[in-house]
Structure 1
Amino acid sequence: MTATSRQQQQQLWNGVGGEAWVQSQALLDQMFRPIEQRLTEHVLAEPAREVLDVGCGTGATTLAVAERLGEPARCVGVDVSGLMVQAAQARAAQSGMNVEFIHADAQTHPFEDGLRDVIFSRFGVMFFADPVTAFSNLRHGVKIGGRLHFVCWRRPEDNPFMTAAERAAVSWLPELPPRDPTMPGQFGLSQPERIRAILGASGWSDISIQADDASCVFPETELTHYLARMGPVGRALQTVGTARREQIIDAIRPAFSPFVDGALVRFTAACWWVSARNDGESWRS
């Protein structure tokens, strides 16, 4: 089951899921900028010179942290999606900053033992097939006393914008699987007790899990692009013909009316802000 789940995630993010994120890079950067900015402040609050961004995607948060840290800090981003890593590498080349991007699965990648001061992630750690193994592997790459900071989604019912398309598309796309909070996916770490159990089992200590909301906004002109590409509905729409796709989009778009405010779309991102410390041995047994 674990091997199958890992393979499914790799196929998703190196296929239609990764393509959608690359195509929507600018939109997603704008949507999640308040979260990126706050996460950057968490990293900057630490004495950080070696940092790792897990599930870095197209590199927005990695580059934001690198810009604020400056030289001689070294920022590295890792992602299972080769498509997104390529996009991140192109952005890094244009920026001229000291940033490296690695195409790898953070669950198993042999990170340098005890090197990092801080590991951080913006919505990038909910997709591990074996989260205890993954967070254990990440902990080995952090110095003793080093910190983990990440943000992940709270429950689907706390995030109506993120689930609006699925609720509206039930009769159109009945094959969509239900969300499972114990499986890899957007809401895979939506239960705080599960987060605490996973981090504790993987050796992290001083675990803090705080609920907080972020106010997000993007142009209303980008709404159709968003719902046609992102999430389970967006991925399902890529498998149907053009006429059928347009028919479904027209049918579900009104579900987003509560979030439209003139020329803008506004929504609340209900998140968990998580931090932990590595108090144990950083080398591998």
Structure 2
Amino acid sequence: MPADETQTSRWNGPRGRSWVENRALLDDVMRPLETTLVDAVTAAGGRRVLDVGCGTGSTTVAIARQVDECVGVDLAEPMIAAARVRAAEEGSTATFLRADAQEHEFAPGEFDTVVSRFGVMFFPDAVAAFANLRRAVRPGGALRCLVWRGPADNPFMTVTETAAGPLVPNLPVSPPEAPGRFAFAEPGVVHRALDPSWHDVALEPVDVECWMPEPELIGYFTKFGPLGLVYADLDPATRERAVTAVRAAYQPFVDGDRVRWNAACWLISARA
């Protein structure tokens, strides 16, 4: 099954462009999680690494500093283009491939390790995707992925939909276990996706404090997440009501000039 057309159009359209345009902010927000994943890859010991769902390439470039080869793959052309510019600007050895990792024909055993920072939860057929990634890894190689735990563990991530839902018609929210940010929240779902093709699948809870400058908050929730997907199409009055309600709902996370929250994740480990 090819990549979901909705996901492809979103990431090659406004969502992908928003990530590129706000790369500096998102890099800073995600850096503590990036560090966690880079440390996990270093501990795994592989020298040839595939970074799945690499986005604009921050994690790929960080891993490339520690290994012989790191290839980032993503289906979003705007993000891959930005990643290539990043690598060139930083003199990185990282390289990038615009492809659907679920079905791309990687060379068998091409990599020692597959990694992902929140890039594997969007596969329309996770079993097929992880089987394909397994073929790309040498026997004995490693898988290391960060995915989100559930909404109850990540209240920061559900503020927008809770506050804006009553005000914005048809606010897009992914059902549980559907492709999306919480698709791998339940360990059983992870095992059903990985156990057919990988060995020694394990999940370790990881909690990391993230933050952003408070003046960036409104821009953040109007460009990303469910409100970001529809914000440009809302009439001015609905926009104003939604922004007022959502900003008020985020107040418990505001600490002076910063917004702070806990990122509750699983670090998935497996062996080829």
Q: Fold match, TM over 0.5?
A: yes
| Structure 1: gaps (5+ residues) | 279-285
Match of 1:186 in 2: 181
**In structure 2, what is the equivalent of residue 176 of structure 1?**
171
CA distance 1:242–1:26, shift in 2 (3 Å): farther
Deviates more, 1:234-243 or 1:84-93: 234-243
CA contact (8 A) 2:200 2:270 kept: yes
Q: CA deviation at 1:200?
A: 0.6
Q: Letter of the 1:165 partner, please give it.
A: T
Alignment partner, residue 239 of structure 2: 245
Contact 2:207/2:264, CA 8 A, preserved across alignment = yes
Q: How many residues in Structure 1 have an aligned counterpart in Structure 2?
A: 272
Of 244, 250, 267, 2:261 maps to 267
Quick check: 1:120 aligned with 2:120?
A: no
Q: 1:235 and 2:229 equivalent? A: yes
Q: Which residue of 2 aligns with 1:219?
A: 213
- Residue of structure 2 equivalent to 1:44: 42
* Contact persistence 2:167–2:238 (CA under 8 A): no
Deviation readout 1:173-194 (Å, 9 max, x if unpaired): 1312443122111111111111
Structure 2: 5+ residue runs without aligned partners? none
What do residues 68-108 of structure 1 show as CA deviations (whole Å, max 9, x unaligned)? 33xxx011000011111111011011011111111110001
For the structure 1 residues 264 and 29, does the alpha-carbon distance in structure 2 shift closer, same or farther, using more than 3 Å as the test? same
Write the distance in 2 (CA, Å) between the matches of 1:96 and 1:34.
23
TM-score (norm 1): 0.92
Q: Partner of 2:137 in structure 1?
A: 142
Residue in 2 that maps onto 1:281: none
- Letter of the aligned partner of 1:147 in structure 2? A
Check 1:255–1:138 CA distance in 2 against 1; reply closer, same or farther (3 A cut). same
| Residue matched to 2:54 | 56
Letter in 1 for 2:217: L
Structure 1 residue 46, shift from structure 2 partner: 2.4
The answer to which of 246-255 and 258-267 deviates more is: 246-255
Q: Equivalent residue of 1:94, what SS?
A: helix
1:97 correspondence with 2:95: no
Q: Distance in 2 between matches of 1:236 and 1:194?
A: 29
2:23 counterpart residue number? 25
Q: Is the 8 A contact 1:76 1:102 kept in 2?
A: yes
Residues 229 and 238 in structure 1, CA contact (< 8 A), matched pair in contact too: no
Residue 35 (structure 1) aligned with residue 33 (structure 2): yes
After superposition, the CA RMSD in angstroms is: 1.4
The alpha carbon displacement at 1:127 in A equals 0.3
Assess if the C-alpha contact under 8 Å between 1:119 and 1:148 holds in 2.
yes
How many Å separate the matches in 2 of 1:107 and 1:30?
Answer: 28
The equivalent residue for 2:105 is: 110
Between 20-29 and 123-132, the greater mean CA deviation after superposition: 20-29
Q: Distance in 2 between matches of 1:151 and 1:158?
A: 15
Measured after TM superposition, the shift of residue 151 of structure 1 is 0.5
For residues 33-63 of structure 1, the C-alpha deviation after alignment (integer angstroms, 9 at most, x for no partner) is: 1110011011111232210100000001001
